[in-house]
Amino acid sequence: MGNGRVTSLKDVAGAAGVSVATVSRMLNGTLDLPTETKKRIQDAIRDLNYQPNPHARRLSLGRSETIGLVVPDIANPFFAMFVAAVEEEADRRGLSVALNATLNRPGREIAYLQSIARNYIDGLIFLTNHPDDGRLADLINSTGRVVVVDEDVPGAKAPKLFGDNEAGGHFAGGHLAEHRHRSVLFVGGPEEMVSTRRRFSGFERAMRKAFGSDATIEAYRGDYTASFGRHAARRFIAEKCRATAIFATSDEIAVGLMEVFQTEGVRVPDDVSMIGFDDVGPLHLFAPPLTAIRQPVRALGQRALSLLLETNWQEREPHATEEILPVEIVVRKSVAPPSKQ
């Protein structure tokens, strides 16, 4: 066609003298036509240089072959690595990924969840980083085809995939106990979040196992950001906190703590020991290199996509399942016995 307009299915149907539905069904392989009719359609396709739209064809079959991925912040190294792992797994399976960063705002999360109901994507891998007020759970339950990863959405009837937060907290507490730290500080996220509760539970259990009632465990709770880490460090200094070791429950919190400590002359581990969580950022480049609980971020991304594709979404009554992947401790040089008991 000489006017620059893209040839449509309707153009082909008109040239061949058949309906649009007939052309569409022939291209989809769902209609057996007489040889002469089939030839007319093929000739029209050739003469008009018609190029089928694979995306439209997939939608007509009820599939987009596109997976949605919702994360709070792609600038955060944890989420960036997770995204890369999902992308690699999707590429291996011949799928596309529609990435959406929410800035951790509930309104944006809700909008992306609603995209499933409109059939723009085949399913969604969903990560949040704040407590839910019930709206996310309700939408996940009414929509389906969602896998919840890393942080829980309580009440959501969906497959859920987490790192072993409880074991990670226990590793951290056990390591500090081995270095004779009885007075410790837990710096974590909101108490309503499952990651915070489980990390604290494991941490406290290890400390109580080692020292019983002699263990003193303080807690600062905010969010998993460097900003909160800086706030926690300033509070630690201002209050003259007696803790000899700190469990920073995310890389970002650890970064914030270290920034302030270095500026204010608080030496790690001479003045206070520190252990982190996630081990996705360059903690090995800190001075000193930071001991941390390492989350299996790449494995979480790969498994999240597999779980989305393996789940039978035709079940009439979806239910929550929970899968836990193991974590490990990476020992570096930020923990030493306390200089004074």
What strands lie across the sheet with 245-248, from one edge to the other?
216-221, 183-188, 245-248, 273-278, 291-294, 328-330
Q: What pLDDT is attached to residue 29? A: 65
Contact in structure between 252 and 283 (CB atoms under 8 Å): no
Per-residue pLDDT band at 153 (split at 50, 70, 90): very high
User: Mean per-residue pLDDT for 191-213?
Assistant: 96
Per-residue pLDDT band at 55 (split at 50, 70, 90): very low
- pLDDT tens column, 5-21: 667 778 888 999 988 77
Question: Cα-flanking dihedrals φ and ψ of residue 248, to 5°?
Answer: -90, 115
319 or 30: which carries more pLDDT confidence? 319
* DSSP labels, 130-199: S---SHHHHHHHHH--EEEESS--TT--SEEEEE-HHHHHHHHHHHHHHTT--EEEEEES-TTSHHHHHH
Residues 6 or more apart whose CB falls under 8 angstroms from that of 46 comprise: none
Per-residue pLDDT band at 1 (split at 50, 70, 90): very low
Q: Any idea which residue has 């040839």 for tokens?
A: 7
Q: Is the pLDDT of residue 274 over 80?
A: yes
Contact in structure between 289 and 283 (CB atoms under 8 Å): yes
CA distance 139 to 220: 32
Q: What pLDDT is attached to residue 114? A: 82
Tell if the pTM clears 0.85, that is, is over it: no
CA distance 156 to 125: 13
The whole-chain average pLDDT of the chain stands at 88
User: Mean per-residue pLDDT for 56-81?
Assistant: 75
CA distance 177 to 281: 25
Least confident of 13-27, 36-50, 215-229, 320-334: 13-27
Between the alpha carbon of residue 68 and those of residues 85, 90, 97, 100, the distances in Å are: 14, 11, 6, 8
Q: Is the pLDDT of residue 250 over 60?
A: yes
Q: What pLDDT is attached to residue 283? A: 85
27 or 234: which carries more pLDDT confidence? 234
Per-residue pLDDT band at 49 (split at 50, 70, 90): confident
Rg of the chain on CA atoms, in Å: 27
67 or 120: which carries more pLDDT confidence? 67
State both tokens at 87: 């992308």
3-class DSSP assignment, residue 265:
coil
Q: Is the pLDDT of residue 149 over 90?
A: yes
Q: Is the pLDDT of residue 62 over 60?
A: no
- pLDDT tens column, 84-135: 999 999 988 888 898 989 888 888 888 888 876 666 678 899 999 888 888 9
Q: What pLDDT is attached to residue 58? A: 46
CA distance 95 to 87: 9
Q: Is the pLDDT of residue 182 over 50?
A: yes
Between the alpha carbon of residue 32 and those of residues 16, 19, 29, 53, 202, the distances in Å are: 16, 14, 8, 21, 64
Q: Is the pLDDT of residue 35 over 70?
A: yes
Q: Is the pLDDT of residue 236 over 90?
A: yes
- pLDDT tens column, 284-327: 888 899 999 999 999 999 999 999 988 877 765 667 789 999 99
131 or 275: which carries more pLDDT confidence? 275
First to last CA, the chain: 86
Per-residue pLDDT band at 189 (split at 50, 70, 90): very high
State both tokens at 337: 């016995």
Q: What pLDDT is attached to residue 30? A: 62
Q: Exposed e or buried b for every residue in 250-279, given b needs 16+ CB within 10 A?
A: bbbbbbbbbebbeeeebebbeebbbbbbbb
